[in-house]
Amino acid sequence: MGSSSRDTEPRLLRAFVAVAEELHFTRAATRLYLAQQALSRDIRRLEREWHTTLFVRSTRRVVLTPEGERLLPEARRVLAAYEDLAAAVGSGAGRPLVVDVGAPVSTGQRVLNAARRAAPEREFVARFHSGLTRAAAEIGAGSLDVSFGRFAGLDPASRSRLEHRLIRYERVAVLLPEDHPLARREAVPLAALAGETLYAGAGNADTAEWTDFARRLFAGRGIALAAPFPRIEGEPEFRRIVRRQGWSVLASEVFTGVPGMVLRPLTDPVALSPVSMVWGAGLRHPGLTALTDAARELAAEGGWLRRPAGAWLPEADRRLLGDDAGT
């Protein structure tokens, strides 16, 4: 490969190889846990850096150019060298992988369960901190390896020390007392929450990314965020306090049940919360590979990365995921 490729990022090489092997941008984007727009942007950047055209694109198919065919084996060789270097530096492959799944009922827990079934020889130690902001700090401190949550809700300094893969769009829901007038509906239009006050973790620094999501969703819709409240530890205490306070709670479709309350999805528009798998930059561990493979299979089986037409995402998340679709 020429001098123009001297500083090519491994991410761009992975994008090239994935598209070359799939010959389909959507399938390659799913494989890499990227938005298709982000993948297309990476390929265009690579073509600019290498001063060549790698693919011929049409509405019906994607084909490697002769130069793309020539460079593909070289790109694979360089990626293999990166993997060999990571192994030589020392991946700590024999140690347990510490994984924060947030809560026993969560997307992260489902991924962990699947990874344990697929790789029973690996040891995964689960934790339940229920907040990516706290988990990101622990990953940075070296006491945690992997977590799950809304990556765009982290501050840029934290994100720069982490890697992530989008694995699911969770549909946002509201947890209502069963005698609430809206509880009779199968789904709750967002406009029907005008005048309501919802709890979304304000006052809990560990889950700041979720409170930020709620503020963005509520803005201009007449929905109030419940006043800050001390951090709530554990599901039994959460259930007790929610019932005692009489709160309605902003939640997602993957949420623990609370006796006397019902979970209803939001609609008009459908609001989505992006869930990424997050780990420390440079981490190489066979347990991480098992988690990544499990997340990919679950996403394909469950349609986790499909988005309904007109779905709402925070602008910050759309930018981070390379998605310019409107709200």
Burial class of 238 by CB neighbour count within 10 A (0 to 12, 13 to 18, 19+)? middle
- Residue range 302-322: average pLDDT? 91
Q: Write phi, then psi, for 262 (nearest 5 degrees).
A: -130, 150
Domains defined along the chain, listed by start = 3-89 (1.10.10.10), 97-169+273-310 (3.40.190.10), 170-267 (3.40.190.10)
pLDDT attached to residue 284 = 87
> What single-letter DSSP state applies at residue 231?
P
In percent, how much of the chain has pLDDT > 90? 70
| Spatial separation of the C-alpha atoms in residues 200 and 198, rounded to whole Å | 6
Which of 30-34, 192-196, 238-242, 262-266 bottoms out in mean pLDDT, i.e. has the lowest?
Answer: 30-34
| Spatial separation of the C-alpha atoms in residues 78 and 84, rounded to whole Å | 10
Q: Is the pLDDT of residue 47 over 60?
A: yes
| Spatial separation of the C-alpha atoms in residues 219 and 194, rounded to whole Å | 11
Q: Is the pLDDT of residue 222 over 50?
A: yes
Among candidate residues 277, 284, 275, 296, the one with its CA nearest the CA of residue 97: 284
Reported confidence tier of residue 84, pLDDT bands at 50, 70, 90 = low
Q: Look up the pTM and report it.
A: 0.73
Residues 6+ apart with CB under 8 A from 165: 32, 33, 276, 277, 292, 295
Residues 6+ apart with CB under 8 A from 96: 123, 124, 125, 287
Among candidate residues 147, 277, 292, the one with its CA nearest the CA of residue 206: 147
**What six digits make up the tokens of 31?**
């494989």
Q: Is the pLDDT of residue 5 over 60?
A: no
Q: What is the DSSP string of 201-219?
A: -TT-GGGHHHHHHHHHHHT
Among candidate residues 43, 6, 122, the one with its CA nearest the CA of residue 322: 43
Reported confidence tier of residue 325, pLDDT bands at 50, 70, 90 = very low
Q: Is the pLDDT of residue 96 over 90?
A: yes
**What six digits make up the tokens of 35?**
């938005």
- Residue range 59-69: average pLDDT? 92
List, for residues 155-205, the tens digit of each pLDDT value: 988 898 899 999 999 999 999 999 999 999 999 999 999 999 999 999 999
Task: Count CB atoms within 10 A of the CB of residue 242.
Answer: 19
List, for residues 274-283, the tens digit of each pLDDT value: 999 999 988 8
pLDDT attached to residue 3 = 41
- Residue range 235-262: average pLDDT? 90
Amino acid in position 305: L
Cβ atoms of residues 175 and 249 within 8 Å: yes
Mutual angle of helices 132-141 and 208-218, in 10-degree steps: 150
- Residue range 4-25: average pLDDT? 85
Which of 81-85, 237-241, 248-252 bottoms out in mean pLDDT, i.e. has the lowest?
Answer: 81-85
- The distance of Cα 84 from the centroid of its chain, to the nearest Å, equals 27
